Amino acid sequence: MHLDEVGWAGFQSGLICLGPSALWASVGHFLLVVLHRCAYSGGTMKQFLLVASGCLCACFSVGCASVPATASTPATHPPATVTKPPAGSTQTIALWPNGAPGALGTGDGDVPRLYVYPATGASSHTAVIVMPGGGYTHLVVEKEGGEEARWLNAHGVTAFVLEYRLGPRYHFPSPMLDGARAVRYVRSHAVELGVAKDKIGLWGFSAGGHLAGYLAAVHDGGSAGATDPIERVSDRPDFAIVSYGRFSMDETIPRKTNLEGLLGDHPTQAMLDSVAVVKLVTKNTPPCFIFSTTGDQTVNSLNATALYDALKKEDVPVELHIFERGGHGVGMAQKRKDLPELAIYPTLLANWMEMHGWMGE
């Protein structure tokens, strides 16, 4: 299936006439059409996202001008967000050695990376890519990255912490491209990394939870004819663990922000809906483990129940845990004297992973 079959030619020709909100809404609508009609059409989704990345970078990072740009009008971009690496990793991998799609530079913050935590032993291990939160503007890379990676290692799982691109310099779909590339990279390098190709999961927190949920719902089988061998394999994760992420953009669910770090200032409801995970779930979404707290005043736990309902309707295996106490951003909630009941979270997760054969073998 080609992009023109879903109306790309007319969509592209009209971009220059649209303001930022209208452009985003149109791209979001087009994305949803492609998702439902060609999610597994030999890499069409990947190709679309690459094109969308250029369109949206032009809209949000460069700005939409009412007059043609000229060589004497240099583009200005917000500075890149620099992230300190998590502790304990043994290797750092640049996901695109020759530059990521839509990259605005080559420095820290422009180069999406994986920090590697290899499990010991000769067998093919389960792999988990941890996606820290931070509102798509920064990364809580230790509390929601390094700690989890070391815990996974202690349980025989090879872990990776993803450093994805952030706003305001980068917006949708850059983080999604980075996450999809991370899955493809691990799968295409499974032998040298000592992991199983069919046991690659995601573990996301807050914004990273939204990202992990999105990638669980939106994926493709790779592009067999791609010159880059990494792009020939699927970016579908085999399971997803999501902690206190925003999955529904329903106006009836209280929220304090509108994903500005991902979508830019003043996103429309159409823009929000285009990244609402609950609207993107299909029967091919992998098994999910959902963690939340009723006491979270930043991301309402109704997001967790909404995702559970969406997965249940599609007969996707899912386990949900919502605790009464605990605010936003508790991580794995270990050694919290004020919230001792949350300490069981990793145990519940380990039980779920063992049940599915992703841990303890």
Q: What is the pLDDT of residues 83-113, one digit of tens each?
A: 999 999 999 999 999 999 999 999 999 999 9
Task: Give me the pLDDT at residue 19, please.
Answer: 41
Contact between 3 and 47 under an 8 Å Cβ cutoff? The reply is: yes
Read off the pLDDT of residues 64-80 as tens digits, 9 standing for 90 and up.
Answer: 333 333 344 457 899 99
Q: Which residues pair with 116 in a beta bridge?
A: 91, 160
Task: Give me the pLDDT at residue 204, please.
Answer: 98
Read off the pLDDT of residues 244-296 as tens digits, 9 standing for 90 and up.
Answer: 999 999 989 998 889 999 999 999 988 999 999 999 999 999 999 999 999 99
Closest residue by Cα to residue 203 from 274, 276, 290: 290
Task: Give me the pLDDT at residue 58, please.
Answer: 41
Higher local confidence (pLDDT), 327 or 61: 327
Closest residue by Cα to residue 47 from 89, 3, 82, 83: 3
pLDDT at 126 over 80: yes
By three-state DSSP, how is residue 233 classified?
Answer: coil
Structure tokens at 166: 């952030």
Read off the pLDDT of residues 171-218 as tens digits, 9 standing for 90 and up.
Answer: 999 999 999 999 999 999 999 999 999 999 999 999 999 999 999 999
Task: Give me the pLDDT at residue 306, please.
Answer: 98
Task: Give me the pLDDT at residue 63, please.
Answer: 35
Closest residue by Cα to residue 163 from 96, 102, 79, 245: 96
Order of all β-strands in the sheet with 239-243:
91-94, 113-117, 158-163, 125-131, 195-205, 239-243, 288-293, 318-323
pLDDT at 154 over 90: yes
By three-state DSSP, how is residue 355 classified?
Answer: helix
Q: Where are the domains of the chain?
A: 80-356
Mean pLDDT, the chain, whole residue set: 84
Q: pTM of the full predicted structure?
A: 0.83
Domain 80-356 part of CATH 3.30.2130.30: no
| Portion of the chain with pLDDT greater than 70, in percent | 79
